[in-house]
Every structure is written in structure tokens, then in C-alpha cells.
């Protein structure tokens, strides 16, 4: 018994010894840090926060799709688009545009606007079509990744007034608007408005537009100078926002259809003008 008490006494530390050692080390660390300048939060953290909220919204959309809540998932993808718009605005306001921000934005976009809409389309109806439905449902993710990679390679640090190819958030919004509008429609599923005849062509066309060379207008900047320089474009986007606020899913679909038709129509008009303005090679030939 005496031997055991000696061993326990030898092993038991002095009361409060560990606490004193910890306080001494903490004081020494604070003294060493006292002379160093405090690191400031980088300005890039502000837009990056909204970029990560974009990704978080896309993740929540995937969870809702898994649970069969298609309407919640659709509006979460729309919310991701709202955060995607905010991170660009914050980057310009804080003058913190960087290659890191561009890469992070693309990584988040490929999930929120590529993978999430693709999974939504597949679970919503294309899974019933077997392998063809699986292939078509993967197109938003595949073409969206190509679209973002092409944008990153050609990005020169300045925001332009147009995009080459349909922006991936617009593709996701159009897909979501179509599903929201058709989910509760009584005629959806009846010929000729079956899933095969409506959803599959729409997904194929939207995916092809992303990797096309058709220029689409970029979102307007909320500044007095931009509004004075582009009054009609600003009024058009304001009208689209009002449509979404008052008509919700139907307004979102109508606004995006108008956006798509405007971009395709302008590209077709420029193509026709270029063809008509091209000189006829027979006119320049020398007379015999």
C-alpha cells in the first residue's frame, strides 16, 4: 500500500501546474505577436463569399432533387444565379477582380448551373428514357464545363458587353423555368407535349447554344453611365425582373425566351447582312 501511494504521488502533477504552463506559453505567444502588423481581410474575400454561397445553393438544390422536391430545387438554382450576379458586382465595387476569383467562380458555376440542372432534368423525366435520356441529361454539365473553360482561357480581365455563347447561368435558368412551368401543367405528358417531345429538344438546344459562337448580351451594370449608354437594354432587363416578380415561373420563362430569341435573331441578322454585303466574284472578273 505504501508503494502504491508513492507511485501515485509521484505521478500526480502539482495542482494548477498545467494551467500555469498554458498561460505562460500564451503570454509568450502574444508578446511575440505584439510587434507584428495585424493581417487585414483581403478585399477578394467579399466577392468570394457570394461565390461560395452560389455553390452552397447549388448543393442544396442537389439535395432537394434527391428528395424529389423539384420546385424547391429549381428556385435554389435561381438563387444561385442571384449570388453569381452579386459576386461580380462586389468584385467590381471592391476592385478585387483576380484570376483566383475567375477560377473559383467557374468551379462553383459548373456545379450550380451545370451539374444541378443536369441532375434535375434527369430525375424529373429523362430517367424514364434509358440511355438516351441519360446522355441528353448530361449535356448541360458537359457543355457547361466546355463553355466555362473557353471563357477562362479568353478572359482578359475586363468585363465585356456580350458573351460568346449562351452563358451557363442563363441555360440553367431557362431549364429551370421550363420545368417549373411544365411541372403542374395538366397537358404535360400528353402528345405532342410529352417529355420526349419538349424537354429533350430544349435541353439539346440550350446545351448547343452554350458552345456556339453566337454572341449574347451580358447583364447590364447598375450605374447611371451604363443606363445612359444602353437605355433600351436596361429597360428590357428591368422588364424581365418585373415579369419574374409578378408572374414568377411563367415570367421567368417568358423573359428567358425573349433573351434567347433576341440573341439568335441578332446573330441571324448579322449573318444575312454579311452574306448580302459580300462582293460577287463574277463582278470583279476582267472582261474577255
Closest alpha carbon to 249 in 174, 193, 166: 174
Domain containing residue 259: 45-270
Domain count, the chain: 1
Q: Please check whether residue 164 lies inside any domain of the structure.
A: yes
Its pTM stands at 0.77
Q: Please check whether residue 3 lies inside any domain of the structure.
A: no
Q: Please check whether residue 252 lies inside any domain of the structure.
A: yes
pLDDT of residue 221: 66
pLDDT along the chain (288 residues), means of 10: 54 60 70 63 74 94 94 93 85 76 89 95 88 93 93 76 88 91 63 70 94 84 66 75 78 84 88 79 56
Q: Hey, what long-range contacts does 40-43 have (CB within 8 A, 24 or more apart)?
A: 42/96, 43/94, 43/95, 43/96
Q: Please check whether residue 197 lies inside any domain of the structure.
A: yes
pLDDT of residue 85: 86
Q: Please check whether residue 146 lies inside any domain of the structure.
A: yes
Q: Please check whether residue 28 lies inside any domain of the structure.
A: no
Q: Please check whether residue 33 lies inside any domain of the structure.
A: no
pLDDT of residue 243: 77
Q: Is the dihedral of CA 115, 208, 165, 143 positive or negative?
A: positive
Closest alpha carbon to 139 in 105, 173, 175, 192: 175
Q: State the CB neighbour count (10 A cutoff) for residue 69.
A: 14
pLDDT of residue 10: 54
Q: Which residues contact 199 (CB under 8 A, 6 or more apart)?
A: 121, 124, 125, 126, 178, 179, 182
Q: What is the CATH number of the domain that holds 249?
A: 1.20.120
Q: Please check whether residue 39 lies inside any domain of the structure.
A: no
Amino acid at each position: 500500500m505504501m508503494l502504491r501511494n508513492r507511485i501515485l504521488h509521484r505521478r500526480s502533477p502539482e495542482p494548477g501546474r498545467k494551467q500555469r504552463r498554458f498561460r505562460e506559453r500564451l503570454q509568450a505567444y502574444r508578446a511575440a505577436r505584439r510587434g507584428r502588423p495585424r493581417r487585414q481581410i483581403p478585399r477578394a474575400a467579399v466577392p468570394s463569399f457570394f461565390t461560395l454561397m452560389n455553390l452552397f445553393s447549388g448543393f442544396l438544390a442537389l439535395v432537394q432533387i434527391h428528395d424529389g422536391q423539384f420546385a424547391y430545387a429549381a428556385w435554389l438554382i435561381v438563387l444561385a444565379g442571384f449570388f453569381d450576379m452579386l459576386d461580380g458586382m462586389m468584385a467590381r465595387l471592391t476592385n478585387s477582380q483576380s484570376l483566383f476569383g475567375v477560377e473559383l467562380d467557374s468551379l462553383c458555376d459548373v456545379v450550380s448551373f451545370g451539374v444541378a440542372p443536369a441532375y434535375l432534368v434527369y430525375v424529373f423525366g429523362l430517367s424514364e428514357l434509358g440511355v438516351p435520356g441519360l446522355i441528353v441529361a448530361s449535356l448541360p454539365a458537359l457543355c457547361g464545363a466546355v463553355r466555362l473553360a473557353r471563357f477562362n482561357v479568353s478572359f482578359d480581365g475586363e468585363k465585356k458587353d456580350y458573351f460568346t455563347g449562351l452563358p451557363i447561368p442563363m441555360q440553367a435558368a431557362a431549364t429551370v423555368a421550363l420545368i417549373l412551368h411544365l411541372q403542374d401543367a395538366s397537358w404535360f405528358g400528353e402528345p405532342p407535349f410529352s417529355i420526349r417531345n419538349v424537354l429533350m429538344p430544349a435541353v439539346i438546344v440550350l446545351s448547343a447554344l452554350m458552345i456556339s459562337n453566337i454572341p449574347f448580351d451580358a447583364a447590364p451594370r447598375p450605374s447611371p453611365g451604363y443606363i445612359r449608354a444602353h437605355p433600351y437594354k436596361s429597360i428590357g432587363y428591368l422588364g424581365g425582373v418585373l415579369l419574374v416578380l409578378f408572374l414568377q415561373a411563367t415570367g421567368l420563362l417568358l423573359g428567358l425566351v425573349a433573351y434567347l430569341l433576341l440573341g439568335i435573331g441578332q446573330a441571324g441578322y448579322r449573318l444575312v447582312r454579311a452574306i448580302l454585303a459580300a462582293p460577287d466574284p463574277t463582278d470583279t472578273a476582267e472582261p474577255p
